[in-house]
Structures are given as structure tokens and as C-alpha cells.
Amino acid sequence: MSDALTRMQESLKYDELINCMRCGFCLSACPTYKLSLHEPRSPRGRIALARAVAEGHLELDDITGPLDQCIGCRACEVACPAGVHYGEILEAARATIVENKQQGALERLVRTVGLKWVLGTPGGIRFAGWAIWLWQVTGLSWLCRKTGLTKAVVGKPMAELEAAMPRVPSPVKRYMGGGPGHVFPAVGERRARVGFFTGCIQEITFWKENRDAIALLQNAGCEVLIVPGQGCCGAVHSHTGEEATAHAQAKRNIAAFEKHQIDYVVNAAGGCGAALKEYKLWLARDPEWAERAARFSASVRDISEILLSLPPIPLGPRPGRVTLQDSCHMRNVQKLVSEPRKLLNSVPGLEFVEIGNADQCCGAGGVYNVMQPETANAIGADKASRVKATGARELVVTNPPCQLHMRASLMRAGLDKEGVRVVHIATVLREAMDAAKAQERTGPTKP
Amino acid sequence: MGDAALIQALQRIVGEQHVLHAPADLAAYAVDASPLLRSLPTVVVFPGSRDEVKAILELASAQQIPVIPRGAASNLSGGTIAINGGIMLNMNRMNRIIEIDAANLTATVEPGVTTAQLAREVEARGLFYPPDPGSQVISTIGGNVAENAGGLRGLKYGVTRDYVMGLEAVLPNGTILRTGGKNAKDVAGYDLTRLLVGSEGTLAVITEITVKLVPKPETKRAALAIFDRLEDAGTAVARIIENRIIPCTLEIMDRGTVKAVEDFAHVGLPTDAAAVLFIEQDGPRAVVDADIELAGKLCREAGARDVKVAATVEEGTKLAEARRFALPALARLRPTCVLEDATVPRSHLPEMFRFIEATAEKYNLLICTFGHAGDGNLHPTCPCDERDHEELERVEKAFAEIFDKAISLGGTITGEHGVGIAKQDYLAWKIGEAGVEVSKGIKAVFDPQGILNPGKVLPKATRKRLVVRQG
């Protein structure tokens, strides 16, 4: 075997590739296969393709398209009887492609500015927060949308996501509401000290959802520190083949959180949480970091997970029918399935109904809906029709990319005009908690 | 006709978006669930109707191009490998349930409907389609019919063959053939329906299937029995059947499988057990309760160390986990998993188990056996590494001896996986030279040009049967 092929086999994780026994069970779990019915758009097919490259039957270029088509929801890992680590295979393949590919000037620019400068540093994320706020507050967003300029420049799918983005809080409000280094005291007896992982985009576009989660933690007896110096979790880098940048994010975050005495690292973003829990795998072969990463990953908790392990917060009535769309990485990687359901079912007056295929990706996939809008929006449209069929007034989500993508999907289906909202689970619980507090103040209302 | 002209001609028939031919597309269709096999098709095509299938076959006939019908490619015998290239004919776009006829208790479907989808739809109407092959979440009814798929419920309910009442198929020259129908009784001529069932895509392309349905059983209940001696498990199986209990599921796992399952899934099985039986009965509650209690008692009398009887359906599901984890547990041990299906008459199960154990030892292999004790269909499973060619040679020799033993006990080389490429050179052992000659004649009548799934089922060269010393 040639040296080049040996290197390719190592890079593509050949030892993992051959664990696939091609039974096809994953096909039933794969959103892109179900949409296309084409084998190269299935996990079994993609593994066969990576293997064909590793064995010298195909060129790396041949398989880039089919791999780009994968949302990376990892539902196939749950369906796989042989325990194949598809996520590792996918990320290794993407990293190999990025390493070996001659990138065009535009792609290089987007990757350098977007992934390395903006999302790759805490300063870049702060800058993005300012930029988005200015864009919205100056009316530029409105003007460009109304004149069709947004659509003309970035295309229809991006323009629809832009329109679905909620109004972001001003930098002043964000500072006043407790930025990096701020400590939120526990309400009542202090049971735990929590380091809050805000997420990069989440802390800008879904800032309020993070504050809802923090309020819940405080009332569950946690002192909450917004750990300073944290940045992006690195999931987006890992999913786009920027392995080195992803690992740099992991190291920065581990180092930032290690500086503080905390019991748990808590987050309210299913996708980020999955990445934080997988730092131990990312850095397993780095002697300096392996142990630190393992310790860090072991302390990570999703907001749903930690709330159930603490004494329940009193919840008041929050009536109405809701349905839930799981975050793929919360379900398939963190394996948290019953937790959000238990919490929703504990809210008085709330009627929880299953969407019917909550285990199936909504199509957001981090930046998948930007890279592959056709597939992402087809899946989003199917979800929207299922939301409608449940008769729910709210679609509850547990991850910001799902929240943005489903907002856009409901808008496309016209459901926003019928008053159907997309809400984060932390918001639902916060509102129920506030209802309980209001009741305590005024006494229970007689029906 | 060059490849480019062929692709264009196919695009004209089904539309451009339903033809795949890029290098990556072909590579993804070069494999199925069978280990070790790989061969590229020339082009991949997705017909949307019977008439498109007909047009494709007429084209292939005129050009003498091989056609390989394909469902979900979950078969384990190499049945959908394009060994001579050709047109990979994917039937999964034809996935409509055409009719569920509650008055005649039949369902008529297109071949691309998945087994799980049909089961779900009929069960929503209080009806039941019993065949449940292991890959039912993804396998198609067309594939099940072509392979005559079995499953866990074989003992009580039979296999796919027992449910197919009528077929529509297209012959390689484009002729449409209709067989059977909705009649419970129909002796008009040769039973062409049964001939096509299990023909592994070598005789005709099935485009519509009418299956028999039965009323959905009222309830079900399960029990799990653990044995210190394999013979005792064999005795228990015999005693259960003798007492006129036909469980819907009667599964056995050997020592190696039990250990693998426990190590992987921690379901509470003792790792020193020699065998575990999983028993499930369905039907009216009173019958189910009586049967499962008696089955439990018979297991204890046969010498079971422990018998767990589920009180509820949910508890039964929990007990079923032990069996459900058999394949996942074994598949994780090594990269490659050779899963066979040698089958013997029920009464010879203990002897067959012993022989498999001894053969594994002889060839220094791990072969764990689980399977359908009720119908004698065993799955000796060998976790191995396809990169180790010396090991693979030992695997092949061991299985040749196992097939030979199965035949000598009045069994068969394959109970439910089919012949395909994997078993074609053993076929004569089971059906004899006369059987092979008649089969060749049938093939020639349906497919005189030999374009339909060529190189499958019929032997290329029959293996010499090994002389195995008994004892």
C-alpha cells in the first residue's frame, strides 16, 4: 500500500469505517435518506464512500458532495446495531476534505473571517453582537429586507433566516443584565455553584433564553457565574472540518472554567452541550489536555438535566397546548430524551403533545440550513406541517439553531400569522415559575 | 450501446433526477449487507411505475445488459451485488400501499413499501402482517418476497411465503405476468406465486404484491428461562411443543451469545449460563396466560436454573431486550460479522449447537449462536476481521463443515437469508443435481438471455462435500 493511501486511511479513521456492517438499519433514521431515497445520502452510503476513498477506489473530490449533504444529526448512531461512531467518521472526513482541498477565494474568506476571527474569539463574538444590534436598530435590516437587497445579496434562504432572527438586546442591556464575570446569587439555600456556558450566537440572538435559564438555576438553589473568557464551543468548527480551530476553542473554554470553583458547567443549547461533553473525545490523544478535558466534560449538564437533579421549583399555571422538537445532539449525543418531557409535563395547565417524529432532525444542523437550504427547508416544511397537525400553539425547542430554523420554517408555512410561536424550554419554565410567584403574591385566583 | 447512451436512454424513461451515475453514486451501490463483497453497477435507476420497469427491462433485453433489482439491500447473501455491472434497479420509489382490504383480509402494496410501514398501517386497523425479518425497519416487502424472508415468528405464523397471495411481475422481455390474487383457494395451474417468492430477483421484477393479513392478536406475554446445560434447553423446547403450545416466538441463545449480550447491555443475564430461552405467546388473554405459565413450568421441570415470567407487556419488552441485543452485542466485538443461518429440524438443535461449538474450537474462532429454536433456524455468528485473510479462510472452512452437518441432520444451508452468491456453490448439497437442473430450466424459461440478477443462486461449480468424521 502506498504511503499516501496509508495516510488517507489514518486521516479517514479506517479502523472505524470498517466497523460498519452495512445492515442498513441507519437508513430508517436518516433525514436526508428519507427525503431522497438515495443511498449516497444515507449513513451507510457515506461510510461506503469514505471507505472507497480510503481503499483507493475513489478520489476525495468524488465524495465531497454526498458528505456536504449530511446534516450531522447523528440519529444513525442510535439506530446502529454495531455501535459505529458516525460522528467521528463524518468529522474526520470533513477535516480531511478541508485539509486536501484547494479552497476558492470566497470560501477562504468566509472560513477565515467567519469561523476564525468572529466565532473563533470572544472579542469577535462581542463584535458580532454589536454589529447585529446596529444592523437591526438603525433600520438597515428593515430597509434591506423591504427593498429586497438582503435577498439579492445573500439569497432567499439566508434572507429568510435573517427575517426570523429575533431583535437582539443592545450591548448596554446585555452589560446591565449580567455579562462575563457576573455572579447571580442563589435564591434561598445555596445547593451548587454553577459556571454558565452562554454559547456564542445564543448569547447574542437568544440572550433572553439564557437569562431565563439562569433565573431557573438561581431559584433551584444555584449560584451562577457567567465564566469570563469563554468563547464558542467549537461545534461549528468541528462540523465544518476546522478541527484545529475546534480544539483551540475547547482548550480555551476548559482553561476559562478551570479558573473557578464550580460544581457544574451548565448550558441551555443542546448542540453546544453535546460538544462540551465530547471535549473528552476531541482531546483524548492530547497528553496535556486529555485528563482536563475528561474532568470538564464530566461536569457538563444541560439545563433540563440539572433542573431534574435539584429540588423542583414551584411552577404556576401556564395553560395551552405545546409540542416539542428534540435537539438532535441533545437526544442522540447527550442521550437526553425524557428530561425535557418530564419538565414540560410538570407545568400546571400545560398540555404536552408529541409531534410524532421529534427524534427526526428539523433540518437546522448548525449551519446546514445556510449551506444546504434546499434540503434543510424541505425538512423544515415537513416539521411545520406536523406542528400544525398537533394543533399546538407553541413549538418548544432546546437548542438555538433549531429555534431560528423553526421560526423561519413556521414563517414560510404562514403559521406565525396564525399565532404559533417557537419557544425555548427555559422560557416556558421561567414563565411558569413567574406565574407561581405571582400567585404567591396575590393568593390563588378563584376559577 | 455505450454507457453514456445507456444513461441517456434510462433518463428518457424515468427522468433525469431518477438516474445516478457519478463515481460516488456507483460506489454507494456497490455493496449490500453481505460481508466482503463489492462490485460497481454501471448505472443506478429509480423507476416510479410498472410501465417504467417494463421499459427499462425492454431496453436491457435489447442491449443484453444485466439488471439487478434492489430493495433496501439488507440481504446477507450478496443478492444485490452487481457482479457483472449493469443496471441497479431500485424499487424504493414505488412505495405506495395501494389498498388494505378489510373484507378480504388482504393488503396490496408496491414493492418499495417497508416491512415496518406495512406492519404499522395494518396494525392501526386492528390487523396483523406477521413476518418480521430482523431488518424490518428498513427492508422492503419486495425484498422480503424476493428473499422469502423469515423472522422471529416463523414457528407459529410461517414466513413471507405463507402470506403472499398474488403478484404482478415484469419478465425480462417486458411481458407483464400476474399470478394468484385474493382467493384463499386457487388451483388454476402451476403455483407461479410461490415460484417467484424466494426467486431472489433472478426470474422477474416484482411490481405489486398482495399479502394475506390476519386479525391482530389481543395481547402477548413473555418469559425468559436460563439453563445450566444446553441439553436441558433442548428438552424444554421439545416439551413445550409436545404440550401443544406453539409460541409466537421461541428463541435460543448459547453461552457465547449470553456472555456477549451481558457484557454489552447489562440486562441481568448470568454470564455462566449455558443457554437462554426467550418465549413469547400472543393471542386471547386467557390462552396467553395459560400457555406462558405452562411454558415456564415446563422449563423449570426441564432443569432451568431460573425462569422469569413477565406480568405485563412492558415487562415482556424488557425481557425481550436480552434477545434483541444479541446481534448488536456480537457485531461490536470485531469489525466484521459473518452471520449465517444454518437450519436443522428442531429435535437436532442440541446436537447442532454442540457441533458448532466444537467446530469453532477446531478452527480457533469465536462462533456464537442464537436463533429461532422453535423452527430450528440458527444464526451461528462469527465476529472476525476481514483484513485478516488467514482468519477468513478458517471462517470459510468452519462454515462449510457447519453446512455439511446441517444437511446430514436433515437441515438446510440457509433458513432465511437466501442463496445469492454466498451459498450458490453449496446449493447442490441441499437440492441435488436434479434440483439444480430443474432450477436451470425454470431460469431459462423466465430469462432466456440471463440478464436478470445474473450469477446468483444457481451454482457456478458445486463444492465437494467435505467428509466430516462424526462424533
Which pLDDT value is given to residue B468?
A: 46
> Residue A36: its chain B contacts at CB < 8 A?
none
Cβ–Cβ below 8 Å for A83 and B332: yes
Which pLDDT value is given to residue A164?
A: 84
Cβ–Cβ below 8 Å for B23 and A18: no
Q: Nearest by CB to B138, from A19, A25, A49: name it.
A: A25
What's chain A's Rg over C-alpha atoms? Answer: 22
> Residue B34: its chain A contacts at CB < 8 A?
22
Which pLDDT value is given to residue B460?
A: 81
> Residue B21: its chain A contacts at CB < 8 A?
none
A402 neighbors A364 (Cβ within 8 angstroms): yes
- Reference A411, options A381, A443, A440; nearest CA is A381
Rounded-to-integer distance, Cα B47 and Cα B305, Å: 55
> Residue A24: its chain B contacts at CB < 8 A?
33, 72-74, 135, 138-139
Rounded-to-integer distance, Cα B310 and Cα B301, Å: 19
For residue range A154-188, what is the model confidence (pLDDT) as tens digits? 888 888 888 888 888 888 888 788 888 999 999 99
Read off the pLDDT band of B79 (50, 70, 90).
very high
Which pLDDT value is given to residue B448?
A: 96
Cβ–Cβ below 8 Å for B24 and A62: yes
Which pLDDT value is given to residue B465?
A: 67
Domain residue spans of chain A? 3-100, 117-164, 171-308, 315-442
Cβ–Cβ below 8 Å for B30 and A48: yes
Q: Nearest by CB to B73, from A24, A62, A63: name it.
A: A24
Higher pLDDT, B380 or B465: B380
For residue range B6-34, what is the model confidence (pLDDT) as tens digits? 999 999 999 999 999 999 999 999 999 99
Cβ–Cβ below 8 Å for A62 and B22: yes
Cβ–Cβ below 8 Å for A57 and B27: yes
3-state secondary structure of A392: coil
User: Which among B21, B31, B379, B382 is the top mutation candidate for probing chain A, defined by the most A β-carbons within 10 Å of its own β-carbon?
Assistant: B31
Assigned superfamily of A3-100: Alpha-helical ferredoxin (1.10.1060.10)
**Is B335's Cβ below 8 Å from some Cβ in A?**
yes
A 226-265 near B (Cβ less than 8 A): none
Which chain B residue has its CA at the smallest distance from A23's CA? Answer: B33
Rounded-to-integer distance, Cα A115 and Cα A97, Å: 17
User: Which among B88, B94, B138 is the top mutation candidate for probing chain A, defined by the most A β-carbons within 10 Å of its own β-carbon?
Assistant: B138
**Is B80's Cβ below 8 Å from some Cβ in A?**
no
> Residue B70: its chain A contacts at CB < 8 A?
none
Which pLDDT value is given to residue A204?
A: 86
CATH architecture for segment(s) A315-442: 3-Layer(aba) Sandwich (3.40)
Strand partners of residue B275: B227, B254
- Helices of type H across B326-388: 326-331, 349-362
**Is B135's Cβ below 8 Å from some Cβ in A?**
yes
Which pLDDT value is given to residue A445?
A: 57
Give the percent of chain B with pLDDT over 70: 98
For residue range B137-163, what is the model confidence (pLDDT) as tens digits? 999 999 999 999 999 999 999 999 999
Which pLDDT value is given to residue A441?
A: 84
**Is A49's Cβ below 8 Å from some Cβ in B?**
yes
Which pLDDT value is given to residue A332?
A: 95
Cβ–Cβ below 8 Å for B28 and A66: yes
Burial class (CB in 10 A: 0-12, 13-18, 19+), A78: middle
- State how far the alpha carbon of B350 is from the alpha carbons of B116, B236, B252, B279, B412, in Å: 33, 11, 11, 17, 16
**Is A338's Cβ below 8 Å from some Cβ in B?**
no
Which chain A residue has its CA at the smallest distance from B335's CA? Answer: A19
Cβ–Cβ below 8 Å for A18 and B93: no
B146 neighbors B71 (Cβ within 8 angstroms): yes
Which chain A residue has its CA at the smallest distance from B29's CA? Answer: A39
Average pLDDT over residues A320-330: 96
Which pLDDT value is given to residue B253?
A: 94
Q: Is the dihedral of CA B25, B27, B29, B32 positive or negative?
A: negative
Q: Is the dihedral of CA B449, B53, B11, B46 positive or negative?
A: negative
**Is A58's Cβ below 8 Å from some Cβ in B?**
yes
A54 neighbors A8 (Cβ within 8 angstroms): yes
Q: Which residue has the cell 424504493?
A: B92
A16 neighbors A56 (Cβ within 8 angstroms): no
Read off the pLDDT band of B398 (50, 70, 90).
very high
Phi, psi of B266 (to 5 degrees): 45, 60
- Shortest CA gap A1–chain B (Å): 13
> Residue A40: its chain B contacts at CB < 8 A?
20, 24-25, 28
For residue range A415-436, what is the model confidence (pLDDT) as tens digits? 999 999 999 999 999 999 999 9
Rounded-to-integer distance, Cα A427 and Cα A213, Å: 7
User: Which among A16, A30, A36, A38 is the top mutation candidate for probing chain B, defined by the most B β-carbons within 10 Å of its own β-carbon?
Assistant: A38
Query: Any idea what the Cα angle at residue A214 is, between residues A213 and A217, rounded to 5°?
Result: 90
Q: Is the dihedral of CA A130, A133, A135, A137 positive or negative?
A: negative
- Shortest CA gap A332–chain B (Å): 17
User: Which among A23, A49, A78 is the top mutation candidate for probing chain B, defined by the most B β-carbons within 10 Å of its own β-carbon?
Assistant: A23
A 16-45 near B (Cβ less than 8 A): 18-19, 21-25, 27-28, 37-40, 42, 45
CATH architecture for segment(s) A171-308: 3-Layer(aba) Sandwich (3.40)
Cβ–Cβ below 8 Å for B72 and A22: no
Q: Nearest by CB to A23, from B22, B27, B135: name it.
A: B135
Tell me, what's the ipTM? 0.93
For residue range B271-308, what is the model confidence (pLDDT) as tens digits? 899 999 999 999 999 999 999 999 999 999 999 999 99
Q: Which residue has the cell 442563589?
A: A186
> Residue B116: its chain A contacts at CB < 8 A?
28
| Residue B469: pLDDT over 70 | no
For residue range A339-369, what is the model confidence (pLDDT) as tens digits? 999 999 999 999 999 999 999 999 998 788 8
- Shortest CA gap B19–chain A (Å): 10
| Residue A197: pLDDT over 50 | yes
Strand partners of residue B167: B179, B209
B 39-68 near A (Cβ less than 8 A): 44, 46
How many residues comprise chain A? 447
- Shortest CA gap A387–chain B (Å): 22
Cell numbers found for residue B119: 406492519
- Alpha carbon A197 to chain centroid distance? 13
Q: Nearest by CB to B32, from A19, A22, A37: name it.
A: A22
Rounded-to-integer distance, Cα B49 and Cα B9, Å: 17
Rounded-to-integer distance, Cα B383 and Cα B332, Å: 8
Equal CATH topology for A3-100 and A315-442: no
Cell numbers found for residue B296: 415456564
Cell numbers found for residue B264: 454489552
Q: Which residue has the cell 438561581?
A: A218
Average pLDDT over residues B390-409: 95
For residue range A21-34, what is the model confidence (pLDDT) as tens digits? 999 999 999 999 99
Average pLDDT, chain A: 92
- Helices of type H across A242-329: 243-258, 270-282, 290-298, 303-309, 328
Q: Nearest by CB to B337, from A15, A21, A52: name it.
A: A21
Which pLDDT value is given to residue B96?
A: 98
Q: Tell me which H or E stretch contains A264.
A: strand A264-267
Rounded-to-integer distance, Cα A263 and Cα B245, Å: 58
Q: Nearest by CB to A62, from B23, B29, B46: name it.
A: B23
Its pTM stands at 0.91
B74 neighbors B138 (Cβ within 8 angstroms): yes
What's chain B's Rg over C-alpha atoms? Answer: 23
List, in order of start, the domains of chain B with CATH numbers: 3-90 (3.30.43.10), 97-215 (3.30.465.10), 219-320 (3.30.70.3450), 333-417 (3.30.70.2740)
- Shortest CA gap B52–chain A (Å): 18
- Residues sharing a CB contact under 8 Å with residue A382, sequence separation 6 or more, in sequence order: none
> Residue B335: its chain A contacts at CB < 8 A?
15, 18-19
Cβ–Cβ below 8 Å for B335 and A18: yes
Which pLDDT value is given to residue A447?
A: 47
Cell numbers found for residue A15: 479502523
Using N-to-C axis directions, what is the helix angle for A43-54 and A86-100, rounded to 10°? 50
For residue range B231-260, what is the model confidence (pLDDT) as tens digits? 899 899 999 999 999 999 999 999 999 999
